[in-house]
Amino acid sequence: IPCANSSSRTVPLKASPPSTSTDQKTPVTSPPPPAPDKIEVFVDGKSVMCDPGMTVLQACALGGVQIPRFCYHDRLSIAGNCRMCLVEIEKSLKPVASCAMPVMRGMSIKTDSPSTKKAREGVMEFLLVNHPLDCPICDQGGECDLQMVPLYVISTGLFPMYFKGTTFELQDQSMNFGSDKSRFVDNLFSGKRFANEVAGNPDLGTTGRGNNMQIGTYIDKPLFSELSGNVIDLCPVGALTSKPYAFTARPWETRRIESIDVMDAIGTNIVISMRTNEVLRIIPRLN
């Protein structure tokens, strides 16, 4: 600060202009690290972050890859019976069932490799050996999983030999549904797990082995359960069909309306199938 008797004048400081030197570089911000509780896996070369404990099938679904399956259901225990969800995992000796295999850090999953396709075609061949060609008259036609999966599983013609299928008589398993055991695909029985784990009624099960395996109840007694109608929705084929809806309409003839069930206290998600302003059936909807 200058003295009062000083004749010198204070020169204000000028702000220096911003430097335009090319030596200064914009700092590069690295992406945030993944959450410590996430596991990184690679589905067909694509990085997918999933939670620990998830299965390979669920990780593939997060990566946008749909894995064909028959016996898997989110709310039921893992069965791993159908073997249709086989995928190839790097450093694995053979394809594994994706519904029962938990993910591991750095796992490389191949869902469209030649080994995976060959394994799925072999499984599909065994499933179709004893299955009748009743699609035109089957009540499940148009919404049958066994009808849809071969469209993107089988690439070449199969069955150089013809097999004589095993036929069974039609039976009434309950007041809600009937069973056609000739259409039963062995081991693909989610209804059995539903009856045991959810409904608490273990009367429904399987008897026999191989081509002689059948679904039914002990000594063919009727299935008395308030939740018996749910096994119809869990059956992937036309082995279990609804009695009130049998031979009423095809899926492409109906109009699907998403709604809420107002008859219960939890507001169950449902789908109403209508044709010409007439309600034909009500089926569950994934919430």
| CATH assignment of 39-126, among 3.40.640.10, 3.10.20.740, 3.20.20.80, 3.40.50.360 | 3.10.20.740
Q: Are 281 and 244 in contact (CB under 8 A)?
A: yes
d(CA 113, CA 124): 17
pLDDT in tens, 45-95: 999 999 999 999 999 999 999 999 888 988 899 988 888 999 999 989 999
Instruction: Delimit the domains of the chain by residue range.
Output: 39-126, 129-247, 248-287
Read off the pTM. Answer: 0.75
Q: For residue 83, how many other CB atoms are within 10 A of its CB?
A: 21
C-alpha atoms less than 13 angstroms from C-alpha of 165 in its C-beta half-sphere: 16
Q: 21 or 167: which carries more pLDDT confidence?
A: 167
Position 19 pLDDT exceeds 90: no
Position 187 scores a pLDDT of 56
Alpha carbons 137 and 143: distance in angstroms, whole number? 13
**Of 126-140, 146-160, 182-196, 230-244, where does mean pLDDT reach its minimum?**
146-160
SS3 267: coil
Q: Are 101 and 54 in contact (CB under 8 A)?
A: no
Torsion angle defined by CA atoms of residues 131, 134, 138 and 140, in that order, rounded to the nearest 10 degrees: 50
- In tens, the pLDDT along 96-142 reads 999 999 999 999 999 999 999 999 988 888 888 778 888 888 889 88
CB-neighbour burial class of residue 32 (10 A; exposed 0-12, middle 13-18, buried 19+) = exposed
Mean of pLDDT over the chain = 81
Largest CA distance in the chain: 123
Fold of 129-247: Alpha-Beta Plaits (3.30.70)
Inter-residue contact 173 to 222 (CB < 8 Å): yes
